[in-house]
Homo-oligomer: A and B are copies of this chain.
Amino acid sequence: MSQIFNFSAGPAVLPREVLEQAAAEMTDWHGSGMSVMEMSHRGAEFGQIIGEAEADLRELLAVPEHYRVLFMQGGALAENAIVPLNLLRGGSADYLVTGSWSRQSAREAARYGTINMVVEPGEAAFTRIPPQAEWRLSRDASYLHLCSNETIDGVQFHWLPARGDAPHQLAPAIPLVVDASSDILSRPIDVSAYGCLYGGAQKNIGPAGLTLVIIREDLLGHAHPLCPSAFDYAVVAKNKSMFNTPPTYAIYIAGLVFKWLKRQGGVAGIAARNQAKAALLYDYIDASGFYQNRVAREDRSWMNVPFFLADPALDKEFLAGAQQRGLLQLKGHRSVGGMRASIYNAMPIEGVRTLVDYMKDFERSHG
């Protein structure tokens, strides 16, 4: 097929050069005679692969020494249970709901203990981050959970919750636990501000089937007695992500993505590109009377851009025309409708330009 641009929300586009390297090394990794898929996870070759992946990730995000990096399985949806199983400690937790994914996290967590809603979610669509002044936080929560980027709703945090002793402030000792599935590695973050960061790999990291967890060491070791050993963070950490056989090939691809990201200037370099891509798309949408994005400007996602045509009767034609130009997977999530363009790290700016050009053409012929 000729050039396509894949706007899937995840699994999503990967850097072309990563895929080409993976293809070239598929049957013989570095002269070993083996595919990475065929290697014992305890052998020297895979030891090098996972070691470099962790080192590169630590370098990219400047992960402090007292944080552990865990390569796990099950994605963020499994973590919705694994987080409370590990971190609730028989107490309660605060959950901030800003979209579909954090709502699902809160629902699953409620099966494991008392969950306090930081704001009362309304009936309306999720189109903003509630200002912190509106939050009601517990003083004795085991943790505060939030989702840094809502993949479905296109709502993203561009700030960190302020800490302090006021009722809307996060108490200094309470760990911040963040589902960062769809914006991890898209920009610099201060890892030391978090107790635990986790995410499925299939947006900015690599193939589905790998879950990344970055956790402060002192939070390990308090799992619920019924937490499966394979999902007990302390067990995983003690066994260097090899209590159960890790998803070796997915870790290898993630490692190639990390090296690619370093060549892009790291997370600072990619953040500038991500911001430019998002600006290009939002600026055009805002200038147009034909398309609309409903998220508050200051809370708009750089990763997932939902947008609506003025006349939803044209949605099908829009999607068909996009497909013809090689602009794939633009249909919005069924719970939101309309369109969604996911423009993760690996989406080149040419993809966004081509999309905007098509949107202009479509507006011209249908506006």
Residues in A lying within 8 Å of B, measured CB to CB: 1-4, 6, 8-14, 16, 19-20, 22-24, 26-28, 31-35, 37-41, 43, 73-78, 80-82, 85, 108, 111-112, 200, 202, 206-210, 224-226, 228-231, 243-250, 253, 326, 328-329
When distances are taken between beta carbons in the complex, the residues of chain B under 8 Å from A112 are 226
What is the chain B residue whose CB lies nearest that of A235?
Answer: B77
Question: Contacting A74 at CB < 8 Å: which of B31, B41, B230, B328?
Answer: B230
What is the chain B residue whose CB lies nearest that of A25?
Answer: B23
Given contacts A11-B39, A75-B230, 18 further A-B contacts (CB under 8 A): A3-B33, A4-B32, A8-B39, A8-B43, A11-B40, A11-B41, A23-B27, A41-B208, A74-B228, A74-B230, A77-B245, A78-B231, A85-B228, A108-B228, A108-B229, A202-B245, A226-B226, A249-B249
B34 contacts A200, C-beta separation under 8 Å: no
B14 contacts A19, C-beta separation under 8 Å: no
B245 contacts A247, C-beta separation under 8 Å: no
6 contacts between A and B (CB under 8 A): A1-B31, A2-B33, A19-B35, A81-B229, A207-B247, A207-B249
When distances are taken between beta carbons in the complex, the residues of chain B under 8 Å from A326 are 33
A261 CB to closest chain B CB (Å) equals: 16
What is the chain B residue whose CB lies nearest that of A7?
Answer: B40
Q: How many copies does the complex hold?
A: 2
Q: With the chains together, A328 CA to B28 CA distance in Å?
A: 14
A-B pairs with lowest CB-CB distance, top 8: A209-B247, A81-B228, A4-B33, A23-B26, A77-B244, A1-B33, A78-B230, A73-B73
Given A34-B328, A226-B226, A228-B85, are A40 and B8 also a contact pair (CB < 8 Å)? Answer: yes
Q: With the chains together, A131 CA to B62 CA distance in Å?
A: 57
Q: Which of A9, A33, A112 has the most CB of B within 10 A?
A: A33
Secondary structure dominating the interface of A:
loop
When distances are taken between beta carbons in the complex, the residues of chain B under 8 Å from A41 are 11, 208
What is the chain B residue whose CB lies nearest that of A181?
Answer: B245
Question: Contacting A6 at CB < 8 Å: which of B31, B34, B75?
Answer: B34
When distances are taken between beta carbons in the complex, the residues of chain B under 8 Å from A40 are 8-11, 329
A78 contacts B82, C-beta separation under 8 Å: no
When distances are taken between beta carbons in the complex, the residues of chain B under 8 Å from A247 are 73, 207-209, 247, 250
A110 CB to closest chain B CB (Å) equals: 12
Question: Contacting A226 at CB < 8 Å: which of B2, B73, B111?
Answer: B111
Q: Which of A202, A206, A326 has the most CB of B within 10 A?
A: A202
When distances are taken between beta carbons in the complex, the residues of chain B under 8 Å from A231 are 74, 78, 81, 228
When distances are taken between beta carbons in the complex, the residues of chain B under 8 Å from A209 are 73, 209-210, 245-250
A11 contacts B248, C-beta separation under 8 Å: yes
Q: With the chains together, A229 CA to B26 CA distance in Å?
A: 35
Given A41-B11, A245-B202, A253-B37, are A78 and B228 also a contact pair (CB < 8 Å)? Answer: yes
When distances are taken between beta carbons in the complex, the residues of chain B under 8 Å from A31 are 1
Q: With the chains together, A200 CA to B108 CA distance in Å?
A: 26
Q: With the chains together, A231 CA to B82 CA distance in Å?
A: 11
B23 contacts A77, C-beta separation under 8 Å: no
What is the chain B residue whose CB lies nearest that of A8?
Answer: B40
